[in-house]
Amino acid sequence: MRAVFRHELQSYFTTPVGYVFLLMYTLLTGVVVVSVNIGQEMSASMNLTLSAMQLPLMLIIPLLTMRLFAEEKRMRTDQLLFTVPVRCGAIVLGKMLAAMVMLALSMGLTLLYPLVLSRFAQVSPLQVLTVCLGYYLLNASLLGIGVLLSSLCVHQVSAAVLTLGVNLTLYLCEHYVVPQLTASYLAPLRTLLGLLPSSDRLGDFANGIISLSDVVYFLSLTGLMLFLTDRVLEYRRFARR
């Protein structure tokens, strides 16, 4: 697992992918801070920043996951992974951890903005960190979905497009579909769609409270995506025998 983790993490910086993702995320966050926090709300709330950044992040997060397995399959280097005496779960976890480190680096850079805003407004460091934790868990579940979709695709472009489509569907469900399901006979559908990962679960985090139930939910969802990815790889490994 360590070898896979180091290889994937290095690949983000030996190719333009890692730099492009970090640059895009940082620049987009800066635009949000200037236009929303300063221009509209005059607020130093990190929840306001990350909430407005959720859609842009969902659009660029496929950059981190699209090549993890799809490129291996296209280049047929996945055959090397299947022949080494390493469990598929370790391979999946190593790749996922590399993507999570990149996500942590990008979100860590956004902590510069509350430091700047603290000169003009009161900022609670504990609340800022709690909000960041909540959104990190949410985005980690999106990474898990991207990893699973990458394992199902042959080309990284198709993996990116498919992940983007799923992310947009999740966003539309959260902001446009679920709020319209007010009729009583649609309650089961509303409950079912409410199980999808969304920022609606981050209300306690926005108030500086770590919700154990939401932490367990996001970790369970991420674990489920990684388990399904492990099953996909095990099936492909068995099929090659």
Q: What is the pLDDT of residues 28-50, one digit of tens each?
A: 998 888 888 777 767 777 888 88
**Measured between alpha carbons, how far is 137 from 143 in angstroms, rounded to an integer?**
10
- Token pair for residue 200? 């609606």
**Measured between alpha carbons, how far is 93 from 230 in angstroms, rounded to an integer?**
9
E strand map for the chain: none
78: pLDDT strictly greater than 70: no
Radius of gyration of the chain (CA): 19
Q: What is the pLDDT of residues 177-233, one digit of tens each?
A: 888 887 777 788 888 887 788 888 888 888 888 989 999 999 999 999 999 999 988
- Token pair for residue 70? 């799809």
**Measured between alpha carbons, how far is 219 from 225 in angstroms, rounded to an integer?**
10
What is the pLDDT at residue 60?
93
**Measured between alpha carbons, how far is 229 from 44 in angstroms, rounded to an integer?**
39
- Reported as a pLDDT band with limits 50, 70 and 90, residue 84 is low
85: pLDDT strictly greater than 70: no
What is the pLDDT at residue 77?
67
pTM, entire model: 0.90
Give the chain's mean pLDDT: 86
236: pLDDT strictly greater than 90: no
Cα atoms in the Cβ-side hemisphere of radius 13 Å centred on 118: 10
Torsion angle of the four alpha carbons 231, 232, 233, 236, in this order, in degrees rounded to the nearest 10: 120
What is the pLDDT at residue 239?
64
**Measured between alpha carbons, how far is 220 from 227 in angstroms, rounded to an integer?**
10
Amino acid, single-letter form, for residue 91: I
